[in-house]
Structure 1
């Protein structure tokens, strides 16, 4: 949980007391979960290994007078003989296969350069990009000349981490229709530690007509749902709620009727803003982002008759924190 001083809202005295109580309860619940699973440590804490032989010291550990001590704050993890400390609020560290959301900052020869909330920019090569015709072929000089018709500066893109090259450059790939340009939505930046790596990062919220992408790099996309069939996806994968994007035609070249078809209805815009505000509140409180928690927060705002703009007010922050206490308490009791 975040400290109350980090919240960018003005609280009344009663709200301060309620929020402080909720934060203290959440800290107690978190410590109970940690003690029953993996031990939480701070710098210089001794990590108990029961005098085992052949223990390997991993990241965040050091040996002092025969004991293994923590050099970072976090949670002790073990993989066979390897002992290391997993930091709770670490910066984003790309791993191959990560689903990320980024913003184009440069169109260079045969590549786009993206800002992805990492210590260095990432590169998406033209050869690693799925073209509109869907045909797998060599990229020609014409393709290179038409790069700006695919992505240009400030475009928001969803892609997959391909890995680091020998020169240290982080490369991305977008070889499927589910990746590509994201339009008609909001891009949110959150702390990457609040987005855990999961099997599914694309989510279609059918009740709201919204596509949600929880990028591993801490960039979250909330936008209008777009249906595009991807021939590369198998029948099993088609049943999964995944965002599938395609580039949109230039609105200036569309007829009035076609423009109406691409117009985002006011209700959908409200849903985008409501879901985005729910994410902002959860992020400010330091609550890990999951689809279930986000939807529960949205439903709570509607049940309590909070308007979209009221969701970023002090009272809703307090009620979300109190609701999180109830949720975690009930989940512990079920165990």
Structure 2
């Protein structure tokens, strides 16, 4: 028989079937009773269950699952880093690691209407990388991009690494705390795509290596508590080693 529990730390509360951050698999029951359902969950009669492998998260009046491995689900407003893979009539086709390739129309790249005499490869060619924003999803759920705006456009310096999309919030941190810590410590410019591609550009190879090492650590340990303190300590040690 279940009784009420004090809501403190990782302890269970009434109607909560697991402890916060417990590992779950699809079909696991997470909560019994009335509560808002969040990401990667569904309601089955009076219970809320998981749809993905991940960590259960109880937050006020909502239960959700932080997926440990999940693909990119594009949403309007997302910042993405992608590669041009084809050129069509009046648009570029961009691979953003989604189920459907994205479209970048000429007006959203040069802020001018499409004309047949435009030399599109001279603007963006196959193989070019862009930092873009999703401005819309069409009826087929094709992401529509723009590269007009601050910090958007063709990538001319730096390199990209891949990062699990579902763990991007941990890389960014609360109010940008984690990525800002990396920026200050490494001196690199970093653009984080919600699609799991991270653009890194530093003044020196050592700076870039420090940023890559830190980002990879965050991906490996995203599900472990106390991550911020560990990253802070690692950055301090890395800086001392470079002196």
Compute the TM-score of the two structures, normalised by the length of structure 1: 0.53
Structure 1 position 273, deviation (Å): 2.5
1:68-79 correspondence to structure 2 within 5 Å: 68-72=47-51, 73-74=53-54, 75=56
Using the TM superposition, give the Cα deviation of residue 154 of structure 1 relative to its aligned residue in structure 2, in angstroms.
1.8
In structure 2, the residue matched to 1:299 is: 236
Structure 1 contact 99–160 (Cα < 8 Å) conserved? yes
Give the SS at the match of 1:278.
helix
Q: Is residue 102 of structure 1 aligned with residue 103 of structure 2?
A: no
Q: How has the CA–CA distance of structure 1 residues 125 and 33 changed in structure 2, closer, same or farther, with 3 Å as cutoff?
A: farther
Q: Match for residue 180 of structure 1?
A: 153
Pick aligned residue for 2:97 from 95, 106, 117:
117
- Which of residues 156, 161, 165 in structure 1 aligns to 2:129? 156
2:115 corresponding residue in structure 1: 140
Q: Provide, for residues 117-174 of structure 1, a one-character-per-residue CA deviation record: whole Å limited to 9, x for no partner.
A: 2222111111112x3xxxx5433334x32x2222212222111112310133111112
CA shift, 1:95, in A, is 1.4
Instruction: Choose from 188, 204, 217 the match for 1:268.
Output: 204
Secondary structure, aligned partner of 1:119: coil
For 1:82-134, what per-residue CA distance to the aligned partner results, in whole angstroms no more than 9, with x for missing partners?
865453432211111111111111222211111212222111111112x3xxx
1:195 Cα offset (Å): 0.7
- The gaps in structure 2 that reach 5 residues or longer are 1-8, 14-18
1:168-317 matched pairs, under 5 angstroms: 168-196=141-169, 205=183, 208-224=186-202, 268-286=204-222, 297-303=234-240, 305=241
SS at match of 2:80: strand
Relative to structure 1, is the Cα distance of residues 284 and 42 closer, same or farther in structure 2, using a 3 angstrom cutoff? closer
SS for the counterpart of 1:163 is: strand
CA separation of 1:79/1:295 partners in 2, compared to 1, >3 Å: closer, same or farther?
A: closer
**Does the 8 A contact of 1:100 with 1:216 survive in 2?**
yes
1:47 has 2:17 as partner = no
Query: For the aligned residues, what is the CA RMSD?
Result: 3.8
The superposition leaves residues 208-265 of structure 1 with CA deviations (integer Å, 9 ceiling, x where unpaired) of: 54211121111011014xxxxxxxxxxxxxxxxxxxxxxxxxxxxxxxxxxxxxxxxx
- What is the alpha-carbon distance in structure 1 between the residues aligned to residue 11 and residue 125 of structure 2? 45
Q: Shift of residue 187 of structure 1?
A: 0.6
How many pairs are equivalent?
A: 219
C-alpha separation in 2, matches of 1:298 and 1:33: 28
Name 2:4's counterpart in structure 1: none
Relative to 1, partners in 2 of residues 1:56 and 1:281: Cα closer, same or farther, differing over 3 Å?
Answer: closer
Higher strand share: 2
Deviations 1:268-317 (A, max 9, x none): 232123312332343344469x99976753332232x279xxxxxxxxxx
Matched position secondary structure for 2:204: helix
Preserved contact between residue 106 and residue 112 of structure 2 (Cα < 8 Å): no
Name whichever of 109-118 and 294-303 sits farther off: 294-303
Compare CA radii of gyration and give the structure with the larger one.
Answer: 1
